[in-house]
Every structure is written in C-alpha cells, then in structure tokens.
Amino acid sequence: MPDVVIVNSGVANLASITSAFRRLGTSVVVTDDPGVVAAARRVVLPGVGAFGAGLAALRARGLDRAIAEAVARGTPLLGVCLGMQMLCEGSEETSAVAGLGVIAGACRRLPDHVRVPHLGWNAVTAVAQAGLVDSGVAAFANSYALQEAPPGWTPAWTTHGVRFVAALEQGRILACQFHPELSGAWGAALLERWLAGATVAPSATAGEGPAPGLLPRVVPCLDVRDGRVVKGVRFQHLRDAGDPAAQGALYESQGADEIVVLDVAASPEGRATQIETVERVRAAIRIPLTVGGGVRSVDDARRLLAAGADKVSVNTAAVQRPALLAELATEFGSQCVVLAIDARRTGGDRWEALAFGGREPGRPDAVAWAREAAGLGAGEILLTSWDRDGTRSGPDVELLRAVAGAVRVPVVASGGIGERAHVLEAFRAGADAVLAASVFHDGDDTVDGIKADLSLHGLRVRR
C-alpha cells in the first residue's frame, strides 16, 4: 500500500502534487479507482478548474463515496485549492451543484474591486498555538473562497479584498485554499507535517505573521528551443543560455516567485520535446510554472498541465480563434489561462498585438484585445513590449498603464528589463509581476538582488 493515494478527478494538476510528495521520499499512487481511495492510508484531493465540473467528475467515477468512506474511517485527508472547495457544501461558482459536505459552508467569489483570479503569493496567518499550519507565505490561484470558518475547525486566514479561509484543520483533515506543493520550502514543510501527523510550534504569536496582501512577483522567463534555453532580441538572433531544469532550480534558489517556459519554436513535431522539458523543469522546482508555445486546443493545454504546468499561455491561437480562451477557462478555470500579448507601438499611445512570434500583425488594438480576452476567460495577461524585448532599455510604462487600467485580471510585464530600476518602474506602472530573461541568463543580476532593491524602495516582497 503506498504512503499517499492522490485522487485523479480529471480536473487536477497531478504532476505538481505528485512531484512534491516524491521529493519528500513518499511513495505515491494516482488513481481514479474508488476502491483504492477508500482503502488508502492517506488521501489527497487536488483540483483546479470549475467547481461543478470537479464534482461531476468525482461523482461519475464514484469517488465522492470513496472520499466519504475514507473520512468516516479517520483516514488523513488533504484537500488542495479546488479540492478544498469541493469538500465544502457548495460554491457560488455553480450554485446548483452540491459539494461533498465534509466542511460546512459555501465558497463565494472574491470581490470585484481587486484583481481576480487571486494569483500569486499571499500571507497565511495561523490562529492555533500548535497545529499543522504555521504562519507564512503561500502560492494561491483562486477566484472563490470560504469566507467564514465553520464550527469545530481551526482556520488560518489570508486577505484579498476580503478576509477568507486559507486553510482548515480538524483531526487528520487538512484543507488548503493555497497550493502547498507550489509554496517552496514552507509548503514542503507543511506536507511533511501532514504526512507525519505532527504539529509545529508557531513562528509568530497566534493571529500574527506576515502582513496580508498579494506580493509583487519576480518571474524569470526561460525561452526554450529544442530543449535548451535561448535568448535573443525581438525574438531574433537566438543564442544558447543553458539547461531549463538547471536554470529553473537556480532561479528558485534565488527567490523566484514563478518560472515561465515559452517554447519559441513550438510545432506538432516538437511536442514530445516540449513535454519532456516541462516534466524536467517541474521535477526541479517547487514554485508555480507557466508554459506556453504551440497551445492550439484544450488537448494541447491538458498535455502541458499533465506534464507539470500550473498555467498555460496562449497567443497566436487565441488571436486566430478567441473562443479558445473560453474553452480553456471552462475546462481548467481562468486561473490556468494566460493570454500572451506581444504589443508593438503603432504611434502615440496605441499598440497592435502581434502573432506568430512577432512576425505578423494579429489584432489592431492590443489594449482592446486584452480587455476582450479577460472577458472571455483569460485569468492573466502576459504583456510583452515587442519594441523593448531584449533591448534592456526599460519597460514601456505607457503600455503597462493602459493594459493594467483596462482589465481586472493580473498583468505580467515583460520586455526591456535591464537593471533594477526597470523592475521598480514596471511595478509602479501597475504590473502585478515582472518577467525578465537576459538580465538573469547573462548573470548581470539575480532574483534576490532585485528583490532586495525592491524592498529598499518600500515594496514588500517574498524573501
């Protein structure tokens, strides 16, 4: 019997959670067999995507009854993200669908005055004197959450527009709205305690800890071709910049908040190489991973998510067929869907969106395209200034302000980062995250060096 049985609901990023447990030396089985789940020593219910689709998938396989049996037997249970929400009685996301009812209460949508989805790193504040969850900073990706703690459960809290439950504990059940498997060393320590049934002496006084609120993200980008990291200027004159798995691990050790892998020469023939690269990078890191390049369908996205991506990025295929964004959001949830826009200034304060790696015009108005895409289901905009890409001349702050002001989803700034001041400029212009490549690949600066500078200028960062 394996140490951990992970429920394959059909709506989960299984590679990340499986990799996290295997890194701890734990034997893991992924299954959709209700008999295996009901008899398991420990059960993990992960999940991404829509509440209704997740419950339908569980019930179609009889996994809802198997989870109920495991809970009745006192089996240690871990629910992650959508997995936690499915353990509740219901959700505003699909109000006609009943949850599993293990946790009393229904999840509600986060308020409209903040950017939704809630993507990135936020504080977790524990209230127990000794429990599984310690105060710290964790990786979140959610639009809905439980906003009241049910009686009999010990909560930990976070805030994004409204205070909501970050985690619940009761006996051997742990439910996390955040992703412990993507929360670096802090998350790995939590998984280890859950495996052992151990508690932790709080690192801060109960109810205290890091200040709540999403932290600005610093994101190294790995442009990949034929399994190697490359870098160029305006997508041309590519040069070798190293091994993607090794680079990803290095940047995580420096404090990277996320890694982006973009296959700059993705093609149907190169799909196997792309999948292998994603698998290698996922095995090497414990933080969120976004992957793009050659995503033309729901099946393409599913393959990347199965290989270890947490989000998929689309560009040309969405320009050609915008409905793809809605299809991806329906299948996997908007928090998994990133629209990449390569924007070129056309004069004054106007930009066009390019397609095919910057080689052809795509949409005449990049700002309007960002707004339309967010309405269709894109949960994040990866905004690259084509004019600044690889030049190290600084971000296009006018472009950033225009797009950040037009959408209510997170915006990642890319293009032109050459020094620490440029990163600060981008955040002050409204970016939620800043992506860079050359400055890291060439060894001119480090993630922790940039974060130290941001901190000196008054920005709270994850350290």
CA distance 387 to 428: 20
264: Cβ contacts below 8 Å, ≥ 6 apart: 223, 224, 225, 230, 235, 238, 293, 357
CB atoms within 10 A of CB 378: 27
Q: By C-alpha distance, which of 169, 77, 181 is closest to 139?
A: 181
234: left (phi over 0), alpha (psi -120 to 50) or beta: left
CA distance 437 to 416: 10
Number of Cα atoms under 13 Å in the Cβ half of residue 45: 33
3-state class (DSSP) for residue 144: strand
Catalytic status, residue 33: no
Q: Which DSSP string do the residues of 305-346 spell out, in sequence order?
A: HHHT-SEEEESHHHHH-THHHHHHHHHH-GGGEEEEEEEEEE
Question: Which one of 243, 300, 342, 396 is the catalytic residue?
Answer: 342
200: which DSSP letter?
A: B
CA distances 178 to 119, 124, 188, 302, Å, are 10, 9, 13, 21
CA distance 159 to 277: 35
First to last CA, the chain: 39
> Strand 259-263 and strand 217-225: pairing?
parallel
CA distances 45 to 155, 204, 300, Å, are 19, 29, 24
Catalytic status, residue 342: yes
Q: For residue 225, report the phi and psi dihedrals to the nearest 5 degrees.
A: -140, 125
Give the pair of three-digit tokens for residue 265.
């020469």
Give the pair of three-digit tokens for residue 434.
């800043």
Supply the residues annotated as catalytic.
223, 342
